[in-house]
Structure 1
Amino acid sequence: MGDENVDEIIKDFILLQDDIVIDRYSNGGANGELYFGERKLLSDRVALKFYYYNKDVSTHNEPLILKSIEHPNILKIYDAKIIHQQYAYFLTPEISGGDLKNFKDNNIVSFYDAINITQGILNGLSELHKNPNNLLHRDLKPKNILIDQETKTPYIADFGSVKFISNAENSVVASKSTQIYRPNESVVQNVYNRQSDIYQVGIIFFQLLGGKFPEAPFEWLDDRQKSKFLKISGSEFEKWQFIDSAIDNLIVKNKLLDYDSLPAYINNKVKAVIKTATNKDLNKRYFTCSEFIKDLFDLKKQNKDWRIDNQEIYANKENKKYYRISEDKKGYCLQVSKNQVNWTKDNKHDGTLESIISRIHKD
């Protein structure tokens, strides 16, 4: 099953299960061990997350939060138990598409998909932010969002960094979680607020649209920095310090996102929404989730649904007219169709990708 390095206490507990047939282990579970299986009586798929338990420390905040909040975009909890003085676990549904990073890497995510998924995340986040919950997630990223394979419904998960913010507070201390998702105020002032969560959703939206966002820290360096890094002869700590400083500098200068890496059909209005969500200036960033949701709704009304499939670009509007862009020896070719079966060539452009996309935007 691949759980050779898991503590024997947890493995013994798994073997003793008689109501759940455990059939899969994942080492991708943050802050704990993650198993999957099927409940015999209910015939449904579930996930079991094991974590270190200490009755004197708030290590069990995550299941308590999941139990207290009921929302269609927040992971549901079925049960939670202490199995040993060191360990506890909680039981949730297994979400068919896995985490959002895995889903994005293995599926075509269209423009409308990106908007719908982002709106779902924001709906769940709004529930966390509002009274009386008053919770900041502090670690929103694709790996901490689960998604249904069929409905593409997102679920906010992994509440290991969640922090309560009282009505009297403007911010809390920043989380030290994933550096590349930390907003400017976390880097400069070590603080985090509701708008910081919104910033992280803006980064997720950028990724869903196809923007370049490397996983490997080294890939955030430019050529000059990479050359300098390779010449560092000191400790590993010094090397990591160099990379951390370079990434923090990108965040502080608001240059983390490479907008030129987005697909050619992403227009300036879409980029403006991303820039508002991720602005380093809190006064220019969305103040609430609902403001972000509203602008996403407008984008969907104003744009066709674009996607890239096998190096061809497709677009459609309300399934009435379909467009297909492919590359040929002379440049780019545009075809249109009403049923995605019979395609007709359209020559109302100059053969460049930019002219074709502009033609489709205006049609």
Structure 2
Amino acid sequence: MLHGDRLDQPSYSFLRTLPGGAVGEVRLVWHEPLQRMLVQKTVDLLGLEDAVAYREPRLLDRVEHDHVVRIRDAQPDPDVNYGLTIVMDYLPGGSVHGALQDGYRFGVRQALLLAGQVLDALDHLHVRHRFLHRDVKPGNVLLDQNRETAYLGDLGSAAPLSEDDRTCEAHGGTLLYRPPEYTSGLLDVRSDVYSLGVTLLEMLTGPFPYAELDPLQMEDRLGRGRRAFLDRFAELPPYINAQVRRVVRALTSQTPASRPASAMDALQRLQQCKTIDWRPCGPRSDVPSKWEGTGLPGRDGKARSYRVETIPLSAGPNRGRVRVKVSYRNRVGGGWRRLAPDSVADLDDQEALDRAFSAADRDAFQR
């Protein structure tokens, strides 16, 4: 048994329960023979009789990829009908969902890099193993200690693609991340691409306001072939440039035909994006007032840092408005220099911010 094969000499020693157990208990354990920490996750496969984990869990062991969590063992759980306990490698960085809940802010390039690694893993599943993951979401994207490398986890819902039309039945998955075609009964590789796109959207915008999401309304929207969430939740921050916006919108399109045709197609589009690695800085707030990021190396091989900030004006004719500043510096610790003239704008003037971020982009991409 996974909780210890022998009472007098157990292979597994329980350490603690981990977050992320919505479909079953998740346990951090110590494996004595391997001398390493592993994770045991029990999944309920009721209603997922087409899943690879239900039909042939041994096939999960064959999936080897640099960005797929390695599965070490899988056994039926004696205490859960249709339950399967999967043992996998432990990733100390937790999940993207956990990072977002902790208030971590992903940089733009960082988010694109991590999403690209997951797309590489999805392409491996789709092409090499002919599986569809069916439950791509922030909670199933795991991270290394430095949150620089992503690993696709939880293959419990994965299903084989048919030989004829490369589709599978629409079962399982998490409501918020289900693609709009879910209610048609069939999914294909573009469905996984959509769910990854929504995951990327959260990395770029911050976590969705989960308390505002009504499951019945989400079910209704999906039933009408729309995204489960309102369009306003898909609005990107002003520092996301047009090139990145186009790719994110394509990945999360409500129409499968408008999405990249494959995970590899989506990956190549992400890799073509140029962007400053913007992230909000300063005090955590729903309305950040300062952003910093590193550009691309210029002809001299060095990258500039950029800053955009809005400074409240408390006196004079522009009282109640903000001064928008865009600056750069050539080295860490160096002084900030003005990149463009300051402007004065209203608090909700997105165009003024767009102009500031565009000025930084032009400088970063033309150097």
- In the superposition, the TM-score normalised over structure 2's length comes to 0.78
Instruction: Confirm or deny: 8 A CA contact 1:62 1:158 kept in the other structure.
Output: no
Cα distance change of structure 1 residues 356 and 215 upon mapping to structure 2, 3 Å threshold: same
Instruction: Confirm or deny: 8 A CA contact 1:136 1:163 kept in the other structure.
Output: yes
Letter of the aligned partner of 2:311 in structure 1? D
User: Which deviates more, 111-120 or 309-318?
Assistant: 309-318
Cα distance change of structure 1 residues 14 and 112 upon mapping to structure 2, 3 Å threshold: farther
CA distance in 2, matches of 1:338, 1:53: 55
User: Which deviates more, 17-26 or 194-203?
Assistant: 17-26
Identify the residue that residue 152 of structure 2 maps to in structure 1.
156
Using the aligned pairs only, state the percent identity.
23
Q: List per-residue Cα deviations over 1:171-230 (Å, max 9, x = no partner).
A: 22212432222222213x2211111111111111111111663323xx247xxxxxxxxx
Alignment equivalent of 2:27, drawn from 19, 35, 42: 35
Identify the residue that residue 192 of structure 1 maps to in structure 2.
187
Alignment equivalent of 1:274, drawn from 208, 223, 248: 248
Cα distance change of structure 1 residues 320 and 52 upon mapping to structure 2, 3 Å threshold: closer
Alignment equivalent of 2:68, drawn from 66, 69, 74: 74
Instruction: Confirm or deny: 8 A CA contact 1:31 1:160 kept in the other structure.
Output: no
SS state of the match for residue 146, structure 1?
A: strand
Letter of the aligned partner of 1:48 in structure 2? Q
Aligned counterparts, 1:119-268, within 5 A: 119-131=116-128, 133-150=129-146, 152-187=148-183, 189-210=184-205, 213-216=208-211, 219-220=212-213, 241-242=216-217, 244-246=219-221, 248-249=223-224, 252=226, 256-258=230-232, 261-268=235-242
* Offset of residue 279 of structure 1: 1.9
Q: List per-residue Cα deviations over 1:290-310 (Å, max 9, x = no partner).
A: 1111111111xx222111122
SS state of the match for residue 305, structure 2?
A: strand
- In the superposition, the TM-score normalised over structure 1's length comes to 0.79
Unaligned stretches of 5+ in structure 2?
A: 283-287, 314-322, 344-351
Identify the residue that residue 314 of structure 1 maps to in structure 2.
292
CA distance in 1, matches of 2:267, 2:45: 37
Q: List per-residue Cα deviations over 1:142-170 (Å, max 9, x = no partner).
A: 11221112252211111222111122134
* Offset of residue 126 of structure 1: 0.4
Q: List per-residue Cα deviations over 1:77-119 (Å, max 9, x = no partner).
A: 2233457486663322111111210123332210111111100
Alignment equivalent of 1:46, drawn from 38, 42, 45: 38
Letter of the aligned partner of 2:360 in structure 1? I
- Which structure shows the higher helix fraction? 1
CA distance in 2, matches of 1:151, 1:70: 21
SS state of the match for residue 265, structure 1?
A: coil
Instruction: Confirm or deny: 8 A CA contact 1:212 1:261 kept in the other structure.
Output: no
Identify the residue that residue 22 of structure 1 maps to in structure 2.
14
CA distance in 1, matches of 2:238, 2:43: 44
Identify the residue that residue 231 of structure 1 maps to in structure 2.
none
* Offset of residue 52 of structure 1: 6.3
Letter of the aligned partner of 2:66 in structure 1? P
Instruction: Confirm or deny: 8 A CA contact 2:294 2:304 kept in the other structure.
Output: yes
CA distance in 2, matches of 1:41, 1:255: 46
Whether 2:109 is the aligned partner of 1:112: answer: yes
SS state of the match for residue 293, structure 1?
A: helix
Alignment equivalent of 2:341, drawn from 340, 349, 360: 349
Letter of the aligned partner of 2:31 in structure 1? R
Cα distance change of structure 1 residues 93 and 242 upon mapping to structure 2, 3 Å threshold: closer
Unaligned stretches of 5+ in structure 1?
A: 1-8, 222-239
Q: List per-residue Cα deviations over 1:219-258 (Å, max 9, x = no partner).
A: 247xxxxxxxxxxxxxxxxxx6455324645x52797443
Instruction: Confirm or deny: 8 A CA contact 1:349 1:356 kept in the other structure.
Output: no
Cα distance change of structure 1 residues 354 and 161 upon mapping to structure 2, 3 Å threshold: same
Q: List per-residue Cα deviations over 1:260-311 (Å, max 9, x = no partner).
A: 7422111222111112112222322110111111111111xx2221111224
Q: List per-residue Cα deviations over 1:316-352 (Å, max 9, x = no partner).
A: 1246211122332341233322223122241623424
Backbone CA RMSD of aligned residues? 3.1
Matched positions, count: 328
Cα distance change of structure 1 residues 49 and 347 upon mapping to structure 2, 3 Å threshold: closer
